[in-house]
Amino acid sequence: MRIALLGPYTGPSLAGAFAFPESLGPLPPGYPGAPLLTVLAKALVERGHQVATISTDYSTPIAELEPFRSFKGREIQAYFCPQRPRSFRGAYGRRGRMLDFFRYERDCLRAAIADFAPEVIHAHWTYEFVWAALDSGVPTLATAHDSPLKVVRYTPNMYRLWRYFMARRVLARCRHLTAVSPDLERDLQGYVPGPIHVVANPIADTILQAPGCVPQAQGSKTLMMVLNGWTDLKNGATALQAFHLAQQVDPELRLVCFGAGFEAGGAAQSWAAGKGYTANVEFRGPTPHALILEKMRTSMALLHPSRWEACCMSIAESMSVGLPVIAGRATDGVPWQLDGGRAGVLTDVTDAQAMADAIITLAHDRARWQEISAAARARARLLFAIDPVVDRYVELYGEVRASEPMPNSVPARA
């Protein structure tokens, strides 16, 4: 099957998974984020499908990409389309991308789709990628990774409000939609004209089959956080306060923070310093994925204070190596991932003392730690193994193709 995968891809993640001729030069940086979709692309290629990844890039000058640049490797074709660098303010003679709901970017994405001429599209995130796929007229399966209403509720700003309206317009056209968790499925019911299928995010076999936590992990007294963004949604401030309270009980505890906003001298460290919460806290900021995975194998727990998730990859990857997770009892998506608390520790992440108590209990109960570690690994293999996830997607691709006629040509822009 000839499949186009639209969504956020980074050049480095694709270059690490596939071989591209050196004569093409390095792949563009692409769309920042975790290598989630590269895992799916790799699995589909290994099953013999013809695959193209199509993404955007706001760090490369528009003139170098317009309308797209194509990199044809031995196994896969990668497209990078330009994205305007600002949301509302103009730059380089172009207005902000949100003012026309990413119209320019969608045009470029559609040009890349037309160039590859897929039989089916699998588009991710219900914003510009799905919109462009639907406009192409090619049979499309869309996958939702967030709840637009809850995102704007927890990050109330003009950009997220406009993204919410953008998503509502897109969802109303999605006849074939998957959601990455049951909670997200419930959030989106009523916004779409057809059924929603739950398909969890996949984890690469190399991670699921990797060695679990080392025997010394629980005794390391080291917690880690992987959060992208110093926001109320991610709730890092409450977590830092909770760690401070836990450390008053056990001074040997350590916390290592990864992700944007948690770099040395960044927003999180500046806030923590003002509160006196920096003792035994290390701020590393954005870190290569492989180094984060290795840290998971040697730590005591992942502290994940987020107020909302759909299908959190940091939690899923922690589970896959048997690293116990401390996360929100009322955080959508999380109790499902952690099997109602059997495969992790559920607590009130809005209450710093409750989180601190959970940290102390896990640090001093080795039997409980081992029980959760084993349950987490088993749960990860049940939910996130790549083969059943890809089996389900390929089945849905067939259903979409059977129910949607192929266009004779790419239609004019909607």
The model's pTM: 0.92
pLDDT higher than threshold 70 for residue 410 = no
Residue 412 falls within a domain, yes or no?
no
Q: How confident is the model at residue 412 (pLDDT cuts 50, 70, 90)?
A: very low
Within 292-338, strands assigned E span 301-304, 325-328
Same domain, 357 and 213: yes
41/206: higher pLDDT: 41
Asked if pLDDT for residue 167 goes beyond 80, the answer is yes
Which has the higher per-residue pLDDT, 399 or 194? 399
Q: List helix spans (H) across 57-209.
A: 62-65, 103-116, 128-136, 148-154, 158-171, 182-188, 205-208
Please indicate, yes or no, whether residues 38 and 183 belong to a single structural domain of this protein: yes
Task: Give the pLDDT confidence score for residue 413 in this predicted structure.
Answer: 43
Using CA atoms, how far apart are residues 153 and 165, in angstroms rounded to an integer? 13
How many domains, the chain? 2
The pLDDT of residue 411 is above 60: no
**pLDDT tens-digit map of 148-161:** 999 999 889 999 99
Could you tell me which of 244, 235, 219, 255 has the C-alpha nearest to residue 304? 235
- Alpha carbon distance 275, 43 (integer Å): 47
Decide: 57 and 108 in contact? Cβ < 8 Å: no
Residue 340 lies in a domain: yes
Would you place residue 414 in the very low, low, confident or very high pLDDT band (cuts 50, 70, 90)? very low
Structure tokens at 405: 């006629």
Residue 213 lies in a domain: yes
Say yes or no to pLDDT of 180 above 50.
yes
Say what the pLDDT of residue 36 is.
Answer: 85
The closest alpha carbon to 217, from 274, 149, 302, 133, belongs to 302
- 320: CATH: 3.40.50.2000
Structure confidence at residue 93 (pLDDT): 87
Is residue 315 within 8 A of residue 338, CB to CB? The reply is yes
171 and 40 in a common domain: yes
Range of the domain at 394: 2-202+386-403
Res 286: pLDDT: 92
**CA-to-CA distance for 254 and 252, rounded, in angstroms?**
6
- Give the per-residue pLDDT at 408: 60
Across all residues in the chain, what is the average pLDDT? Answer: 95
Q: Indicate whether 241 and 198 sit together in one domain.
A: no
Q: Which two tokens stand for residue 23?
A: 């004569």
Residues 149, 248 within the same domain: no
- Banded model confidence at residue 75, pLDDT cuts 50, 70, 90: very high
Asked if residue 379 lies in contact with residue 325, where contact means CB atoms within 8 angstroms, the answer is: no
In a domain, 410, yes or no: no
Q: Is residue 409 part of a domain?
A: no
Same domain, 61 and 149: yes
- The residue among 385 and 210 whose pLDDT is bigger is 385
Residue 296 forms part of a structural domain: yes
Amino acid at 202: P
What is the per-residue pLDDT across 287-335, written as a single tens digit (0 to 9) for each? 988 899 999 999 999 999 999 999 999 999 999 999 999 999 999 999 9
pLDDT (0 to 100) of residue 32:
81
| 46 domain-assigned | yes
The C-alpha angle 217, 275, 278, rounded to 5 degrees, equals: 30
Q: Give the span between the Cα atoms of 366 and 363, in whole angstroms.
A: 7
